[in-house]
Chains A and B, each alone.
Chain A
């Protein structure tokens, strides 16, 4: 049984810096040919999702907090990102987030599952730059 007290829980939050090296690593590991003619000012847009590593919990911590055994193989169901700005290389950003809901469902494919929805936000000072909605599928 998941920790239902996790609903509305706000993540501790953290900071997020995209170095040129980590941007190149991600570009290389995804086959991205960088065509940023502005001297690599902007990072790969997928750092919007990578910011999940800076919510103040590791993924392992997050699943522990949810009281979920990660060895059962959690999966990503949906992810929706809204960009109010592009993320720049070598700039420090703040990351925050909140667990919105936990639902139980029976899946035809994988049996009984819990669905956890949470939001992550990336800020610069007081300005929200990105909003990311996650939907995790947790097989029981």
Chain B
């Protein structure tokens, strides 16, 4: 398969439900009230609904990679959290191939990825390196 510099990835989308935030708080053993109590979020001036957990946001980015490359190995992923995803948001992940390296007949791709909500683009900005076997 040919990979081109600047090639866009197929967009991935998902709707965030409060029940998912509850799952993540339990799995992470994370009592931070911003994930469970929207009044706390309002008190802190951070928004009007519960804030999604950061690792869940990164999971969406990884899901976009999985959706685009059915066989791949994730070598690294760097994530900058630029804003919040809220319960009830519709998120999309967009991205492109920013580098292609062929080393000993193994292809390594660098991907620039962006998690967007209906209100803000680039809530999370990620750079991932994947190996295509």
Contact flags A76-103 to B (C-beta < 8 A → 1, else 0): 1111111100100000000000000000
Asked if B11 lies at the interface with its beta carbon under 8 angstroms from chain A, I say: no
Contacts A35-B66, A49-B55 given: A29-B24 contact, CB under 8 Å?
yes
- Say whether B81 contacts A53, CB under 8 Å: no
User: Which of the residues A22, A45, A58 comes within 8 Å of B27, measured between beta carbons?
Assistant: A22
Contact, CB under 8 Å: B14 / A30: yes
CA distance A35 to B37 in the complex (A): 35
Chain A residues with CB under 8 A of B19: 29
Minimum C-beta distance from B119 to chain A (A): 16
With known contacts A30-B14, A52-B28, A59-B32, A79–B54 Cβ distance under 8 A:
yes
Say if the beta carbon of B62 comes within 8 Å of chain A.
yes
Count residues of chain A with CB under 8 A from any CB of chain B: 35
Check if A123 is an interface residue, CB within 8 A of chain B. Answer: no
Q: Does B97 make an interface contact (CB < 8 A)?
A: no
Main secondary structure of the interface of A (DSSP, over half): mixed
Query: Judging by beta carbons under 8 Å apart, are A53 and B63 in contact?
Result: no
Within 8 A of B (CB), among A37-82: 44-46, 49-50, 52-53, 58-60, 70-82
Q: Which residue of B lies closest to A25 (CB)?
A: B23
Chain B residues with Cβ below 8 Å from A45 are 62, 74, 77
Nearest CB in chain A to that of B14: its residue: A31
CB distance from A134 to the nearest CB of B (A): 9
State in angstroms the CA–CA spacing of A53 and B27 once bound together.
8
Interface assignment of A7: CB less than 8 Å from any CB of chain B: no
- Indicate whether B5 reaches chain A with its CB closer than 8 angstroms: no
User: What are some 24 contacts across the A-B interface (CB < 8 A)?
Assistant: A26-B23, A26-B59, A29-B19, A30-B14, A30-B20, A32-B62, A32-B63, A44-B59, A45-B77, A46-B59, A46-B62, A49-B55, A53-B27, A59-B32, A71-B33, A73-B34, A75-B54, A76-B54, A78-B79, A79-B55, A79-B79, A80-B76, A80-B77, A83-B75
Chain B residues in contact with chain A, CB under 8 A?
12, 14, 19-20, 23-24, 27-34, 40-41, 44, 46, 54-56, 58-60, 62-63, 66-67, 70, 73-81
11 more CB-based (< 8 A) A-B contacts, given A50-B55, A75-B54: A29-B56, A30-B63, A35-B66, A44-B59, A45-B62, A45-B77, A49-B55, A59-B28, A71-B33, A73-B44, A83-B74
